[in-house]
Amino acid sequence: MADGGKVSMSEMSRHAAFDPARSEAVTGPGQSSRDDRQANCDPTGNPVSLDNARRPIGVVRDVAGGTTIVVFDPERLHECLSDADPAIAMSGQVSSQIKIRVGNTWLLGVVRTLRQATTAEEHGGVVAEVDFMGEGDTERLTGNIYGFRRGVTRYPMPGALAHVATRADLAQIYASDGRPNISIGTVHPTKDIRAGIYIDSFLGKHFALLGSTGTGKSTSASLILHRICELAPQGHIVMIDPHGEYISAFRDRGNLLDVSNLQMPYWLMNFEEHCEVFLTSSGSDRVVDADILARCLQQSRAKNRLAAAIGKITVDSPIPYLLSDLVNILQNEMGKLDKGTGSIPYQRIKTKIEEIRGDPRYQFMFSGMLVADCMTDFLAQVFRLPANGKPISIIDVSGVPSEITSTVVAVLSRLVFDFAVWARDEETRPILLVCEEAHRYVPNERNADGSSVGRVLSRIAKEGRKYGVSLGLITQRPSDLAEGVLSQCGTIIAMRLNNERDQAHVRAAMPEGARGFMDAIPALRNRECVVCGEGVSIPMRVSFDDLDAALRPASDDPSFAAQWSKSGGEDAMIERTLQRWRAQSR
């Protein structure tokens, strides 16, 4: 015993539990004998699976509400490194799992930090901060964990022994409990334990997929959506694709829409969205213009026979109207002597409407062919009602003029939410709205431009689950998302993040028990992630499955070395590109 009552690591290693010659007396009858241990050694003499699984690797020193300090024996960690079981071989490393005996149960923890003992700490071991994850019962024959559940009911006392978590333990911990789930990969560090996500909890409380550019984020998103489509072929998924990269991934399974076939009627816009498109003024002039547009727009909607059948309508009611009627009403109002303002505001609005009507880039939305009441067909097509084996709509907005891209996304997002609100008396048909490049549409206050799309998506994040609307956010810049939106996502799938500000933003949104995994995020490999939250039993590090080339998005980076080493066909390529460029159509 060292001075001051502190136990040195050499003395701790001589404790009966650490001594191979005496471990049977500590671990109990029916477990490995000394001869068994000698038979379970690698060629260098290091003990493997059976012995490492039963001999402790450390001692609990301090215990708090959600964490504990464990002192690892460096010799035992070195012995475990060569074990054939990958879970044992990783023991004691950051984001690895260990288990602590508490009575007849095992308490599972994940290593958050490691440090070498200071000179004042005479035990000489490796000091680890460990987050509690949950607990399980002890299987009598093997001593492994079974019946794992989240939460802690009994805490260990200082002096309790810490053991490795074996592959068999992880198989029990991550085993499905029978709820509907999708499999997306394998649990690190194993190669055969499947990583599953419980679909109802995953979608019911929103999710976010985060990762720096180049980490495989788009391919991982495609993998998750394909697995959802396989599980639910009659589902209803709407994906906003700002770069047109997911079209190739869902050619056989999705309804593919872009500016050539979207045909989204302009009259579906509410008043706020009309203002974004038709008003060009700012300040006090915009207030005057908005008041004029509201009066004229309501008169235009009121001319439709549907308005007469309904009775009372508002400026936001999705009632078809003719742009020519709106222009004529503006003209008539401008000619009135008691209009209370000059003619310039009327002329401003009228000029903008006529400009949009004549611009071929806006024909997907402002075509004269879209004046009929086609709302039923449009919603059925976009929301996949019925799905007919193609449960996902990919809406490519890359061809939409940049001036109204946010408005188009706002209209589509709001329609999802409004439809769910007004269909509440019907049989629930949940809809999943997936938004790629989410930081563009739900920006934080520093980057906000006042567009309606941010308010719509924020409202879906806060209230959507009450109406059966699920939101999936995909972004490489979580720190640029609006405050509170990420915290509304019940499940977070975090791939590698290189920016410290992004890491801090995600760390703040993750549950306390996942911090040990969070600290490993900068060191994740491509196509690896940490999953935590409502969609999984406990946080886990996952290696994504490979996805067939035909099911991947068109997001691969070009090979400069390969492309710059060949030539030919440039003239024809330029001609084809110019033709699409000038026609503003793909």
Q: How many CB atoms are located within 10 Å of the residue 519 CB?
A: 19
What does the pLDDT read at residue 42?
40
Determine what percent of the chain is predicted with pLDDT higher than 90.
Answer: 69
Average the pLDDT over 416-438 and give the result: 94
Residue among 166, 177, 178, 108 nearest 137 (CA)? 108
Q: What is the mean pLDDT of the chain?
A: 88
- DSSP 3-state assignment of 395? strand
Higher model confidence: residue 92 or residue 5? Answer: 92
Contact 179, 198 (CB under 8 A): yes
Average the pLDDT over 109-136 and give the result: 87
What does the pLDDT read at residue 20?
45
| CA–CA distance, 19 with 2 (Å, rounded to integer) | 19
HSE-CB for 560 with a 13 A CA cutoff:
0
Chain centroid to CA 111: 24
Across 252-256, 445-449, 493-497, 526-530, least confident range: 445-449
What does the pLDDT read at residue 370?
83
Average the pLDDT over 428-440 and give the result: 94
Determine what percent of the chain is predicted with pLDDT higher than 70.
Answer: 90
What does the pLDDT read at residue 174?
92
- DSSP 3-state assignment of 157? coil
What does the pLDDT read at residue 12?
52
Residue 119 has pLDDT above 80, yes or no: no
Residue 6 has pLDDT above 80, yes or no: no
Contact 397, 240 (CB under 8 A): yes
Residue 515 has pLDDT above 90, yes or no: no
Average the pLDDT over 567-573 and give the result: 90
The pLDDT-based confidence of 50 (bands split at 50, 70, 90) is low
> What would the pLDDT profile of 59-77 be if each residue is shown by its tens digit?
999 999 889 999 999 999 9
DSSP β-ladder status, 491-494 and 207-210 = parallel
The pLDDT-based confidence of 242 (bands split at 50, 70, 90) is very high
Give the domains, in start order, of the chain with CATH numbers.
Answer: 3-173 (no CATH), 196-263+374-558 (3.40.50.300), 268-360 (no CATH)
